[in-house]
Every structure is written in C-alpha cells, then in structure tokens.
C-alpha cells in the first residue's frame, strides 16, 4: 500500500473489510447454498494484503459479520496494528491453527470457508486437528479463488500505483534498450534493467527479468545467460517492477542494426495482433473472445495460431503478477472481463531455431474500449554504435 496517513489507512482498511463482508453476504444469498457460511479464512498472501493493508510476510485473516481478526506473530504485531486498524490483531503464541479454532468457537462460527487452494496438505491437516480439538462442531468448507470478485476490479489507488510501476519500467527499457551493443550478454542487459528500475524507485521486480536473444527467444520464459547479443537477431525483453506492492509487466522485442525479412514479417504480425486485441477489448467480453482477436490475426498471417503462439494473450495484473481475469483460450478464459480490470495484451510468435517476437502492454478495461497504460515505444531497431 502507498505511504499514507493514519486516517487514510483506517479508511482503506475499513473499506476493504466491508468489501469482504459484502462478499460473505453474497455467498450466503446464493440460492444454491443450503448451509450459510459464518466466516471466511484468508490464507493467500496477496488476498491478505488486499483485505487488510498488512504487508508482512506471515498472517491469517478471519472475517465474519461481527468479527475481524488478523493473526500474526511477534515480528509483525506492531506493524499489523498500524497498517490494519479495522482488524483486531491477534498475537500467535504457538499454533496459528489452534488460535483460529479457539476464536471461531468463541464467536459462534459454525461453518468456516477456507482458502484451501493456498494451503499445503500439511497445513490443511493441522487446521483439521485444531478445529477438532477446539471447535468440534465447526464445519470447514474449501474455497477456490475466494477474493477474485474483489481483486480483479482495481480502484483508483491501485491503478495509480500500477501506473507508477509501468512508467518506471517504460523508461528503463527505453534507456537500456537504446544502449544495447553487440557482445553484451543477456545477463548484463537484465542487470542494467534492474538497476535502472530500482534507482527510479521500484521496490523490487515483478518477476525475474527475461532477456532472450536469437534462438533463445523461441523459449517464452528463457532465463538470461551469458550468450552475447548479436547484430540482426531478435531480442525479447520481458520485465516489470513493483511499486506500493503492485506490479507492472511489459515486453518489447528489439534488434541491433536491422532485422532480416523473417524478423519484419514476424514483428509486424505480432504488432498487428496486439493492436487488434487492444482495439477490440472491452468489458463484458470473455477472455476467450479477447484472446481470439490476437490469435486469429496471427493465423490469418500464415502462422499456426497454436503451435507458433502457445501461451495466452494476457492475464490480470495487480498485487500478483498473474491473477484473474485471464485473456485465454483455456477454461479460465470463459469468464467475462469486468470494467476496471487491468490486464496484459502480449501476443507472440516463436520459431524454434530462429527466435521469437513478443510485444506486451498493460491496459485498463473500460465499457467501450481499453486504455493502454504502457508508454514505451515499439520501434524495434537499435542503431549500431559508432
């Protein structure tokens, strides 16, 4: 969360708590539900931060209509009290699961909805043992993607944090990209990008920076190594940084000197695919439909839209670098994309033995169109130094 006054923290903490309680009420209003849920247990790190404002690395959150508790240990008690004033901070002594079971019993919780998709098998076992000991009448129900309906729609504060992260990455790729020279290694370029972003105010990287030159570009998630960059080959750079806990994500493909005929055919196709998706993407579309805008463009250009472009067109970005909604032809893409979601648009073409091209922006989804956040230019040629 951005640095804020106590009043701002209190307001945000209270607003997010109210949102979680509305979510709980909506779950119970579902006609398909036969047994009401009394409380939810948040275990996933980004969900915990979203719901409470707490930025520490350890903690569990339990919310009911009348109780809101943040369980953490000695290291974070004071921090949690400052960052999450709408919650009662419960200092854990021993097992957190025992404390949760006892709290649920004391507050009359009969059915607890737990983010089980984030729990290890061992953690789930320990939760079951604690519940059996402290609240034997408590029923535990598994939940998946519990806070997705809340987190995928970004408020103005979240979008502003991401705009700052986007801008830092944009300026980094433009500065470092212009300085590329033959013989520099992928690892050296990745380090230069990280230094530039951190010196500009980023608190960290969204993910390890990808620099994939020449044939390495055919691997979408290649890790940079000691391969020297050469004149005329594609260089895929995928990067992002974190500001106020929120991520940015962008990709540009560059070439030193000038590309050959294959480079330009691939590059122009990928750029046309990205433009088709960004021009057509709007709220209410499913991720499958949005993905098809880019994928069909690639197919019409004569490339296999599955074999040459094997990943999704995009994904949501926020506190996590990959989150809902999904701009994908897969099962996760069947959900409609809501107004206020922030997603990537990142089509690519990958040719084994030659390399690849990927171009990626972040966009805010609106009613009638999407609004591109990324400002870094898309001129791929880097002039040879004198």
Answer whether residue 135 shows pLDDT above 50.
yes
Mean pLDDT score, 39-51:
95
The confidence band for 385, taking pLDDT boundaries of 50, 70 and 90, is low
Answer whether residue 206 shows pLDDT above 80.
yes
Sequential DSSP letters for 6-38: HHHHHHHHHHHHHHHHHHHHHHHH-TT--S---
- Pick from 41, 43, 58: nearest CA to 118: 43
Query: What is the pLDDT at residue 12?
Result: 85
CA dihedral angle for residue 330, residue 156, residue 10, residue 82, rounded to 10 degrees? 70
Query: What is the pLDDT at residue 82?
Result: 95
> What pairs with residue 60 in β-bridges?
71
DSSP state of 331: G
Query: What is the pLDDT at residue 94?
Result: 84
Q: Cβ(276)–Cβ(294) under 8 Å?
A: yes
The whole-angstrom separation of Cα 117 and Cα 128 is: 15
Three-state secondary structure call for residue 316:
strand
Answer whether residue 177 shows pLDDT above 60.
yes
Query: What is the pLDDT at residue 134?
Result: 87
Look up tokens 């404390």; give the residue.
99
The whole-angstrom separation of Cα 384 and Cα 386 is: 7
Residue 310, both tokens: 């094997």
Query: What is the pLDDT at residue 98?
Result: 92
The confidence band for 167, taking pLDDT boundaries of 50, 70 and 90, is very high
Those residues with Cβ within 8 angstroms of residue 15's Cβ, 6 or more apart along the chain or in another chain: none
Domains of the chain: 6-149 (3.40.350.10), 152-382 (3.90.230.10)
Q: Where are the alpha helices (DSSP H) in 254-315?
A: 261-280, 287-300
Query: What is the pLDDT at residue 69?
Result: 97
> What pairs with residue 358 in β-bridges?
348
DSSP state of 223: P
Query: What is the pLDDT at residue 11?
Result: 84
CA dihedral angle for residue 89, residue 93, residue 96, residue 100, rounded to 10 degrees? -60
Q: Cβ(13)–Cβ(52) under 8 Å?
A: yes
Mean pLDDT score, 110-116:
93
Query: What is the pLDDT at residue 386?
Result: 47
The whole-angstrom separation of Cα 39 and Cα 113 is: 6
pLDDT digits (tens, 9 = 90+) for 210-242: 999 999 999 999 999 999 999 999 999 999 999
Q: Where are the alpha helices (DSSP H) in the chain?
A: 6-29, 45-52, 77-83, 96-106, 121-134, 148-151, 156-178, 186-199, 261-280, 287-300
Q: Which range has the worst mean pLDDT, 115-124, 279-288, 325-334, 363-372? A: 115-124
Strands 111-115 and 139-143, how do they pair? parallel
The whole-angstrom separation of Cα 214 and Cα 185 is: 12
First-last CA distance in the chain: 45
Query: What is the pLDDT at residue 383?
Result: 87
- Pick from 170, 327, 314: nearest CA to 241: 170
Three-state secondary structure call for residue 326:
strand
Query: What is the pLDDT at residue 5?
Result: 62
Answer whether residue 116 shows pLDDT above 90.
no
Q: Cβ(116)–Cβ(144) under 8 Å?
A: yes
Average pLDDT, the chain: 95
Query: Full-prediction pTM beyond 0.85?
Result: yes
Mean pLDDT score, 337-356:
98
Q: Which range has the worst mean pLDDT, 8-12, 61-65, 105-109, 186-190? A: 8-12
- Pick from 272, 273, 367: nearest CA to 314: 273
Mean pLDDT score, 130-135:
88
The whole-angstrom separation of Cα 328 and Cα 315 is: 8
Mean pLDDT score, 120-128:
90
Radius of gyration of the chain (CA): 23
Answer whether residue 284 shows pLDDT above 90.
yes
- Tallying the residues shown for the chain, one arrives at 386
Answer whether residue 2 shows pLDDT above 80.
no
């Amino acid at each position: 969360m951005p640095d804020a006054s106590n009043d701002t923290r209190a307001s945000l903490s209270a607003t997010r708590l109210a949102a979680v309680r509305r979510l709980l009420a909506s779950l119970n209003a579902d006609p398909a539900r036969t047994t009401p849920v009394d409380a939810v247990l948040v275990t996933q790190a980004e969900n915990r931060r979203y719901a409470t404002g707490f930025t520490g690395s350890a903690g569990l959150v339990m919310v009911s209509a009348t109780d809101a508790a943040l369980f953490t240990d000695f290291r974070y008690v004071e921090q949690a009290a400052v960052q999450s004033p709408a919650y009662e901070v419960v200092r854990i002594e021993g097992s957190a699961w025992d404390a949760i079971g006892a709290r649920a019993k004391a507050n009359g919780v009969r059915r607890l909805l737990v983010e089980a998709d984030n729990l290890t098998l061992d953690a789930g076992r320990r939760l079951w043992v604690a519940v059996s000991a402290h609240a034997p009448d408590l029923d535990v129900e598994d939940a998946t993607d519990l806070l997705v309906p809340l987190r995928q729609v970004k408020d103005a504060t979240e979008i502003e944090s991401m705009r700052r992260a986007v801008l830092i990455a944009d300026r980094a790729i433009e500065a470092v990209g212009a300085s590329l020279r033959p013989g520099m290694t992928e690892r050296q370029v990745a380090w230069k990008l990280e230094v530039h972003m951190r010196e500009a105010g980023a608190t960290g990287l969204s993910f390890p920076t990808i620099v994939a030159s020449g044939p390495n570009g055919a691997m979408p998630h290649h890790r940079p190594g000691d391969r020297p960059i050469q004149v005329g080959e594609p260089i895929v750079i995928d990067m992002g940084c974190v500001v106020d806990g929120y991520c940015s994500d962008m990709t540009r493909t560059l070439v030193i000197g000038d590309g050959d005929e294959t480079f330009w055919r691939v590059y122009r196709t990928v750029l046309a695919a990205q433009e088709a998706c960004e021009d057509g993407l709007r709220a209410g579309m499913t991720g499958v439909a949005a993905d098809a805008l880019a994928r069909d463009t690639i197919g019409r250009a004569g490339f296999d839209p599955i074999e040459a472009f094997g990943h999704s067109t995009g994904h949501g970005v926020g506190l996590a670098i990959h989150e809902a909604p999904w701009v994908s032809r897969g099962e996760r893409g069947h959900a409609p994309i809501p107004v206020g979601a922030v997603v990537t648009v990142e089509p690519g073409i990958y040719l084994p033995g030659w390399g690849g091209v990927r171009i990626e922006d972040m966009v805010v989804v609106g009613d009638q169109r999407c609004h591109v956040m990324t400002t870094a230019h898309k001129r791929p040629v880097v002039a040879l130094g004198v």
